[in-house]
Amino acid sequence: MIETKPYADLFLYIDGAFIGADERESDEVVNPADGSVLGRLPHARPEDLNKAIASASRAFESWRWTSPLERGKVLRRVAELIRERAADIARDLTLDQGKPLAEAYAEVFNAAEHAEWHAEECRRIYGRVIPPRDRNVRQTVIRQPVGVCAAFTPWNFPFNQALRKVSAALGSGCTVILKPAHDAPSAVVALVKLFDEAGLPPGCLNLVWGPSSRISRHLIESPAVRKISFTGSVPVGKQLGALAGEHMKRVTMELGGHAPVLVFADADLDRAATYLSTLKARNAGQVCMAPSRFFVHKDVAREFTEKFIAANAKLVVGNGLDPATTMGPMTNARRIAAMEELVSDAVAAGSTLAAGGASSDGPGLFFPPTVLTDVPLSSKIMNEEPFGPVVPIATFETPDEALALANALPFGLASYVFTRSLEINHRMTYGIEAGMVSVNHFGIALPETPLGGVKDSGVGSEGGTETFDAYTTVKFISEMTA
Ligand code: NAD
């Protein structure tokens, strides 16, 4: 077990000042691996929120006119600092979020790459010139930063998700008020410290904590806030989207998925089983892109299931600070309750519990990799995102049936196909209703590739060359010589 330094102190960050709990209300932060209390997270008061809005508005008036080179310099410096401080950030991330330390490092280093991508790409926020109808006229289109953004980020990849939204906003010339989820706050506090150290002017980035609905309403209703970006569940995304619509605010929504996995009879089953087992165990399945509805061709379903269960049996569930651990605890008790309900519903509906199925007695929020077979399509797990390490497996007979199953739900985030057939590959990649399709491997969520969903899974993309679209407005300028 790795020796730990004391867990980080937690702060609000408003107008360039760090504010601790003092006499403010605060929440306990708990280690999901053993139930111990790690620290206290201060809540922003309404006057703190107003101060954050005022400082972000003030800072926008100068930050928006900085050159992309200057903005890129801050982001590049943040990337350097992330790498320098990776050990401390990753350890605290494992302590409050639960993921194995190696995954925490991977999240931190991946975030550094996102900062670099945005540092480079912000130099390419191009406009265009449109041929005029009159030689005395020049018609141009420019893109300008949208203004103050409110970003709501989740607890499953707290560092990476916050960094993505903040980099996209700052890189485009916007300023940000960040309201992350409470369950795993240390990495976000660390991130804000790095931006402060990298020389980001006060007010460009503010960090607030507190009751989510009070804070999101306060920020979204403020006329100064021009854009909302949210990563989280579909129901909350719809609530925030409705509120944003009432106030005509732009939104980016990266919401839940229920990723279909189509394993065809010609697939490399060993490869599919080991890939999917590792991928599903990542972050204990608490990943919006996790493979989560498995449809396997009936001729290979038994063989695939055996291989998948065998791969799962090699996973080591435990405290993320233990180097042997390959799957940590669930981050909060809500997920344990959800796993138990999904498993018991599926079993009551006639599914076979082929592996796992029961949480440990504690301490710690551990749930084993679980496999259900012969799962009826009407069961909850085939319709609700599990967001945990439970896999339902059902079968199909034809490519048409597989495609229909993949597209049957209102979700459309990630999807996975395993086949050697070019024909099936093309049919599935073009036909699946999802923002991302990955064939024969896990190839999504890189800084240079767009991440986003369709249908209930969201609006807009993060990453890729699309990353600044949602943070800039289009202005058309038509000039005639006098
Ligand atoms: P939840 O629906 O209560 O909350 C989901 C997220 O929204 C959390 O990060 C939470 O802090 C935030 N949130 C809740 N109410 C909010 C509000 N009024 N204003 C702003 N933010 C608000 O569920 P939960 O138990 O925290 O998480 C489980 C579910 O959330 C999962 O089923 C999964 O679908 C979804 N989730 C998705 C992602 C993702 O990457 N898309 C990340 C985390 C959680």
Q: Which of 164, 166, 156 is closest to 192 using CA atoms?
A: 166
Tell which CATH architecture fits domain 12-255+457-477. Answer: 3-Layer(aba) Sandwich (3.40)
Look-up: residue for tokens 């991130």? 191
Q: How confident is residue 415, by pLDDT bands cut at 50, 70 and 90?
A: very high
Q: What is the reported pLDDT for 73? A: 98
Q: Which two three-digit tokens encode residue 243?
A: 């509120």
How many residues are recorded in the chain? 482
Q: What is the pLDDT of residue 4?
A: 57
| CB neighbourhood size of 308 (10 A) | 27
Both tokens assigned to 188: 């976000």
Shortest-distance Cα residue to atom 9 of ligand 1: 154
| Centre of ligand 1 from the C-alpha of residue 156, in Å | 9
Q: What is the structure's pLDDT at 219?
A: 98
Q: Which residue, by CA, sits nearest to atom 29 of ligand 1?
A: 233
Q: How far is the CA of 80 from the centre of ligand 1 (A)?
A: 30
Asked if pLDDT for residue 158 goes beyond 60, the answer is yes
Spatial neighbors of 160 by CB under 8 A, at least 6 apart, are 107, 108, 110, 111, 114
Give the atom of ligand 1 at the shortest distance from the alpha carbon of 334.
25
- pLDDT at position 481 over 80: yes
Other CB atoms closer than 10 Å to residue 154's CB: what's the count?
A: 21
Nearest 5°: CA angle at 469, between 466 and 470? 120
Residue nearest to atom 42 of ligand 1 (CA): 232
* Tokens representing residue 211 in the block: 């009751």
**Where would I find the H helices in 247-348?**
269-281, 301-313, 333-348
Categorize the per-residue pLDDT at 267 as very low, low, confident or very high, splitting at 50, 70 and 90. very high
* pLDDT > 80? residue 293: yes
DSSP at 8: P
Residue-wise pLDDT for 75-124, tens only, equals: 999 999 999 999 999 999 999 999 999 999 999 999 999 999 999 999 99
Is 290's pLDDT higher than 60? yes
Nearest of 318, 370, 379 to residue 348 by alpha carbon: 379
> Could you tell me what percentage of the chain is helix, strand and coil, using 3-state DSSP and rounding each to the nearest 5?
40, 20, 35
Q: Ligand 1: residues within 6 Å at CB?
A: 152, 154-156, 181, 212-213, 216, 231-233, 235-236, 240, 254-256, 288, 334, 385, 387
Q: Whose CA is nearest to atom 37 of ligand 1?
A: 232
| Main-chain phi, psi angles of 262, to 5 degrees | -110, 115
What are the structure tokens assigned to 266, written together? Answer: 């010609």
Round to whole Å and give the CA distance between 37 and 455: 39
pLDDT above 70: percentage of residues in the chain: 99
Structure confidence at residue 21 (pLDDT)? 79
Residue 3 in this model has a pLDDT that exceeds 60: no
Q: Are strands 175-180 and 458-459 parallel, antiparallel or unpaired?
A: unpaired
Please compute, for residue 429, the number of CA atoms within 13 A of its CA located in the half-sphere on the CB side. Answer: 12
Neighbour tally for 337: CB within 10 Å? 12
Write down the ipTM of this complex.
0.97
Q: Please state the rounded mean pLDDT for residues 436-456.
A: 96
Place of tokens 């670099």: 116
The catalytic site residues sit at 254, 288
Q: Which of 185, 166, 175, 197 is nearest to 84 (CA)?
A: 197
For 63, the token pair is 């930050």
Residue 411 in tokens:
């979700």
Domain edges within the chain: 12-255+457-477, 259-447
Strand partners, 179: 152
Angle of helix 269-281 relative to helix 301-313, nearest 10 degrees, comes to 50
Q: Reply yes or no on whether the pLDDT at 128 is more than 70.
A: yes
Pairing between β-strand 390-396 and β-strand 291-297 as defined by DSSP bridges = parallel
Crossing angle of helices 86-97/101-121, nearest 10°? Answer: 120
Atom of ligand 1 nearest to the CA of 332: 25
User: What does the alpha-carbon distance between residue 230 and residue 48 come to, in Å, rounded to a whole number?
Assistant: 21
pLDDT at 23 over 90: no
**pLDDT at res. 96:** 98
pTM as predicted: 0.97
Q: Which atom of ligand 1 has the smallest separation from the CA of 153?
A: 9
Domain 259-447 architecture:
3-Layer(aba) Sandwich (3.40)
Cβ atoms of residues 105 and 289 within 8 Å: no
> Which residues have C-beta within 8 Å of that of residue 106, sequence separation ≥ 6?
none
- The letter for the amino acid at 57 is S
Q: Is the pLDDT of residue 2 over 60?
A: no
- Give the span between the Cα atoms of 439 and 227, in whole angstroms: 34
Q: pLDDT-derived band of residue 384, with 50, 70 and 90 as boundaries?
A: very high
Do 149 and 169 meet the contact criterion of CB atoms below 8 Å apart?
Answer: yes
Instruction: Summarize pLDDT for 218-245 with one digit per residue, the tens.
Output: 999 999 999 999 999 999 999 999 999 9
